[in-house]
Each structure stands twice: as structure tokens, then as C-alpha cells.
Chain A
Amino acid sequence: MKRRIWKKIMGICLAAATTLGALIGCSGSTASETEPAAQVSEETETAQSQVTESESETEEVEDERPFEGVKLKYATTQTASTGEENLELIELVKEKTGIEIEFTIIPNTPSGELDKTLVSLMAGDEIDIIYNTVPGLKPFYNAGVLTPMDELAASANYDMDSIFGDYLPNFDGQVYGLPAFSDIWITLYNKQIFDDAGVPYPTAEGWTWEKYIETAKQLTDSSKGIYGSLMLDYDCYNYMYALQKGWNPYKADGSGNFEDPLFKESLEFFYGLGNDEKIQQNILDFKASNTPWNAFVTSGQYGMFMCGGWTTSILNNFEKYPRDWTVGLLPMPYPEGQEPTTLTVPGCYAVPSTSKNKEAAFAAAACMAENQYTLGFGRVPARVDLTDEEIADYIENSLAKPFEFDSLTVEDFKAAWFDSNRKALSEKIIGAGSSEISQIIIEEGQLYGQGAQDIDSAISKIAARAKEAIEQEQ
């Protein structure tokens, strides 16, 4: 009898242990997730206590802080929430507006996965501020989770156009975010390769594609594995030349504009740099050799690198990217006979529709967008209202300092990033089906580039598939 009872107890215990084990296994991840969350709240508390200290110092301006005591939620990642820039930014907002910002931690979104912020907003979570690039905001707009800012700006008597101009994210005639900084395309060049080839350093004035190609040819020495030019395999390389010549990805009626001769010319131009001009790897060699995005700095084998300005962030990271050669900075080249242009993608703060205090959220977003560049993290402000003196002061005292090793001058930065005569064009296609269209352009364009199909087939396939994508989204 006793034996049977023991057996029974043992059986129940074993089954319970197995079940508990599995449940603990499941909850283990939750426990580990709460740990960094606690760290974040600690960090946030520290930031908030710093804010409290500064509060007493700025009592006299309290009247100018219309949102004193208002608390807002800013959805951001764990890394960004503990970053110095974001912590200083929320302190700045508190100083200027009285708004206290708390971080709502959203997991990172690796490529190909659902955007967790979007999922949270669609589920109705209360979030007051989000950050994204202009093309990144488009899915949020499509999902109907963004607040249009025109009315908020009007009631706050805030002239968005005069401050941010063309950088404003405008979807179907309404503004849905305030741009804080802009990633402007540039040309970096390796002075060592120029010196070795006996080629004089180029200047920003009249820096056209024709000059770029001519210079790159002089630098290229394939026997040593040196190429005059490096470009990556992003979608925008396929159509940048067309954009610079006035091409628009969409026609006035919203249909695709891929049969436009300018688009064809652009594909031929980009892939021709590798296939015909031979100033850079052709696309097949580029893909097959797995050339990384940072090859310009890591290999020292490329004369010039044409990409977004964000790539400069690795120049002064000598621990990770050691080098003994210096870098020059130029603007993006443009087609001869055209106005100087560049590509850009602005980063914006937007107010989700789930925000319960949209006026305060708008004020906080405006404060962040206007002032983030002043924090000294090397941002190119997306403001068109800054005076020449303000820009010069910013470049000299903030932007240029980290690049002392490369002796980059205020003039270099001015020409590359602050040339008011240079028109900024959207780096990304923004419109119906744009995400699918980007993928289509890469697929079909690269097939043309590697000789697997002719240019006309590539164009007709891109046009047909883009048409389908646009119709699907419409």
C-alpha cells in the first residue's frame, strides 16, 4: 500500500517537475528581458534626477515652459534609450518645454521582421513620439497610426515650412513628422591613393560625374587591386543618375515612371561604371566577393567612395578601423549641365495617433527636431532657416572637430553638407508599392548589370512588376 502511495507521489512529482521545468524555461526569457528594462528605468531615473537638478537652475524661465509636468512616452530601442545623445535630448526637451519624456523600450527590428513599434501602435498602445526616416514613416502612415501635423502646427502658430523646407515628410499633402537631421550623400576620397597615382585632389566646385569618372580612371590600377571608385548595391544607386536629371519615380497619375528614358540611362550609367568604365568592381564581382559596406576604410584599396554621409562616423573610430592614411571630403557628383544635387534621407520625429496629448507631443518633437544637432553628435541639421554664421559656428566648433586627423576644413563640410544651392533629392522611392519596387529594381537591375538580361528586358520587367505593386497597394 505504502509502496503504491510512494509511486503515486513520485509520479505526480515527476510530471509536475516536467511541467514546471517547461514553464520556467518559457518564463526564463521574460526574466532576462526585465533585467535590461530595469537598467533602462535606472538610467531614465538618473537622467530625470539630472533634469530635476537643472530644474532649480532654470526657475526663471518656468513661464516659458507651457507643458510643465506633462509626461510623454517615446518609443525607442534599448540601445538608443541608453545612448548619451537621447539622454541629453530628453533633458533638453525638459529644459525648454517642461515636458518629461519616458522611454518605451521597443525591441530592435532586424531586417525582414515586423516593426515592433508599428505592431504596438496598431494594437493601440499609447505612445507619444516615435523616430524614423521619411521612407520609414511611410508604412506607419499607410497603417493610419500617424497624426497629421498641419493642424497642430497651425494652432501652435509654428511655421514648419520656413524651418524645415523640403525636408518635411509629406504624404498626400499632409506633414507627418518634423525632421531633426539629414543624411546627405557625399564623396570620400583616400588621399594616399591620389598621392601614389600622382593625381591632384579634386575640388567641390563643378564636381560632376564626368570628373568623377575621369579621376577614378587615373586612380584605378587593377593589377594592384586598386579601384578608383567604390559604390554599394543599394537600390538608390540604380536610379540616382535619373533623379539628378529630373526623373520622378511616379507619374502625375500615381503610376510608375520606369519606362522613362532617364531611368534606362541611369541603369546603364551605374552598371557601366563597373562593366564599361571599369573604375569599380562590376556588380557580379562585387556580390561574389562579398565586399562589405565599410571596405573603403578597412581595405584602403579604393580611391573614392560615394555613399550617405553616415559613413563618416567610422572615420574617427580608429580602434575599430585603424588607418594611417587621410580622407578628403567632397559633395556628391552631379551630371554635367545639370544643377548640383545630392541624395538625402532625413530622420524625423512623429506623433502617433495613439498619443493622448498631441499638442505636447508636437511641442516636444519640434524641440527635438530644431535642437538635436546642437548636442554635438555630428548631426547635419535638417533646418533651412539657419544663417551662414550659425552654420559656420556649428561646423567649426562642433562638426569638424572629430575629423582633425583628416584635416577636414569648415569649407569641406560646407561644400558637402551645407551648400544651399545644392538641391536635396529623396534617396528612397516614397509612394505606393515603394518597398516592393526597391526590391524589384535591385533584382532586375543587377541581372542586367551582370549580363543575365538586356537593358530593355530589365526595364520592361521593372515597369510591369512595379505596376503590379502599385496597383496592389492602391
Chain B
Amino acid sequence: METVKKRKYSRQKKENIYGYLFILPYLAGFFIFQGFPFLIAMVLGFTDVSYISKIQNATFVGFQNFVKFFRDEYALAALGRTGLYSLIYVPLIMVCGFVIAYLVNKGIHFKKLVRSMFFLPYVSNMVAVAVVFKLLLGPGGPVINLLMRLGMENPPYLLYGLHTALPTVVVIAVWKGLGLNFITYLAALQNVDNSLIEAAQIDGATKMQRIRHIVIPMVSPTTFFLMISSVITSLQNFTTIQALTAGGPGQSTTVMSINIIRTSFSNFQTGYASAQALVMFLIVLVFTVIQWRGQNKWVNY
């Protein structure tokens, strides 16, 4: 009996070793390219290091960079814009992803084609997407022409307006990222037990009631996963904004990620930029923990 137990234990141990060996390349990559730079950024956040001065000249400044951040009206404004971006992006991409997946799942013609069409922007290069949208929304583009035909004398250039640039960028980002939410929801909806829906239908539940009380709770684990990833994506929005507006006009689309890059590589304040990155990381962490803790109240496994 004991020999069998020992063999089992030994086999388990070997399997564990193989497991570790398999994940070793990923772990090595993670520590070299993410973990180590993260630790360095944490240390630099407490110094006044500049990338144009030698690291040995850096001095420890304690929480000075963090105090500076909360007094820096431009950095705080960037944080505010990041929040606004997320507030528009997350609900929009979640609702659109679900609605489109629901409609496609109900059965339409050319289902495969429609599925590919919605997923295509997700795998497209952001710079190419930016070029296309700049042409679409710019002077002489179809959007301006349409608005003029509808009687608007001076239609706004949406990407270049002080108050329109950020919402426009968000909508483009949603269009670009929608494919992932759509495909994931579609997979989840295909696993919803039809017998439950039919039973509800027999009991006289309306379509909306069936969606609200059966479909949405059944796909709640997917919603939970997509919510977390969408919040993180919305906070890490550098590529989209850099390609579309580069933070302008003025600072109207300068969000935290853009501000961090500028602070470090244009203004040479690497220590301060690292502190901002740390604040950003803590915000992402807090949101993720809150969502993780809150899942018990609404996610049905």
C-alpha cells in the first residue's frame, strides 16, 4: 500500500517537474521583460533619475514624485481623461459585443462572413486603422460630405475638435476591439442551455425577460472575464491614441499612458514618469481586485 502511495507521489512529483519545465520559457520571458523592468520602475519611482543623467547621480526622493503627481494639474487631467475613456469604452464594448453576438447567434444569413467581418478590425494594424479613419473623418471624407448634405454648414473634424477628439477615439477603439468581445460572447451564447429558454417561453416569459433572467446570468463568467480585460485594455490605450491623435488637439486626448511617455522621453523625468506608471499600475490592480472580489455577487459558475 505504502509502495503504491510512494509511486503515486513520485509520479506526481515528476509531472510537476515536467510542468515547470514547460512553463520555464514563459516564466523566463516574463521575469526578464516584465517582472524585472517592473521592479526597476518601482525603485526609479522613488528617485529623481532622468534619462539624460547618469543613474549614479540619481537621489532617493521618497514619496516626492507621488506628491508631485497629485499636485500636477496636467497629470491629474490626464488621469481624468483616462477615467473618462474607460467609462465610455468599457460599457460600450461590453454592450455592443453582447448585442451583436446575440443577434448573430439567433441565426442570420452569411453567419461566417458576418463573424469574420466583425473580427477583422481586431487583427488589423492600429496604424493602418488610424490612416483609414483620418481619411474617413477628414476634409473631403465621406463623413464630412454626409453631414454637409444633411444641411450642416461647418461640420466638425471629429478627431481634431477639443471636445470631440476623445469620444471619437473611444468609438474607434471600440470598433477595433469589438471582435474579441463578440467572438467570446458568441462562444458563450452557444453554450446556453436551450431547454431553460424554452421552459421560460412556455411559462410566458417575454424575450427581454428571457435575456435578462436566463441568458445574461448564464454568460456571466464570460462577462466577468471580458469586463476585467476590457478595463485593463481601456487603461492601456497608448497605441490607439498615439496613432490617431498623438494626445492632441492641445491635451484633449493626452491620457495617462501618453503623459507617462512624454514625461520620461520628451521631458526626461524618468523618475517622475515611473511614479506615474506605478500609480497607474495600482489603479489597474485596485479595479481588478474589486471586480474579482465582487464576482461572487453576480457571476454564476
Contacts and interface: CB of A to CB of B under 8 A. Distances in A.
Given A22-B28, A139-B52, A450-B160, A11 B267 contact: no
A288 B265 contact: no
Contact of A139 (B26, B54, B74, B268): B268
A185 to B, nearest CB: 24
Contacts of B261: 112
Nearest to B21: A15
B262 interface: yes
B265 A22 contact: no
Contacts of B140: 289
Contact of B138 (A119, A288, A436): A288
A289 B52 CA distance: 36
A287 B269 contact: no
Given A15-B21, A450-B160, A289 B138 contact: yes
Interface residues of B, number: 36
B138 A446 contact: no
Contacts of A21: 25
A443 B54 contact: no
Interface residues of A, number: 44
Contacts of A232: none
Contacts of B268: 139, 142, 435, 473
Contacts of B249: 287, 443, 446-447, 450, 452
Interface string B6-32: 000000001000100110111011000
A142 B261 CA distance: 20
Q: Mostly helix, strand, loop or mixed at chain B's interface?
A: helix
A337 to B, nearest CB: 34
B25 A23 contact: yes
Contacts of A435: 266-268
A284 B267 CA distance: 26
Nearest to B51: A114
Given A139-B52, A443-B251, A447-B250, A290 B138 contact: yes
A439 B74 CA distance: 14
Contacts of B28: 22
B167 interface: no
B53 A144 contact: yes
B210 interface: no
Contacts of A443: 248-251
Contacts of B25: 18-19, 21-23
B81 interface: no
B122 interface: no
A11 B18 contact: yes
B277 interface: no
A143 B18 contact: no
B94 to A, nearest CB: 31
For the complex of A and B, list the 5 residue pairs with the smallest distance between their C-beta atoms, beginning with the closest: A22-B25, A15-B21, A288-B157, A143-B52, A447-B250
Interface of B: 14, 18, 21-22, 24-26, 28-29, 51-55, 74, 134-135, 137-140, 157, 159-160, 162, 248-251, 261-262, 265-269
Interface of A: 8, 11-12, 14-16, 18-19, 21-23, 26, 112-114, 118-119, 122, 139-140, 142-144, 284-285, 287-290, 433, 435-436, 439, 443-444, 446-447, 450, 452-453, 465, 469, 472-473
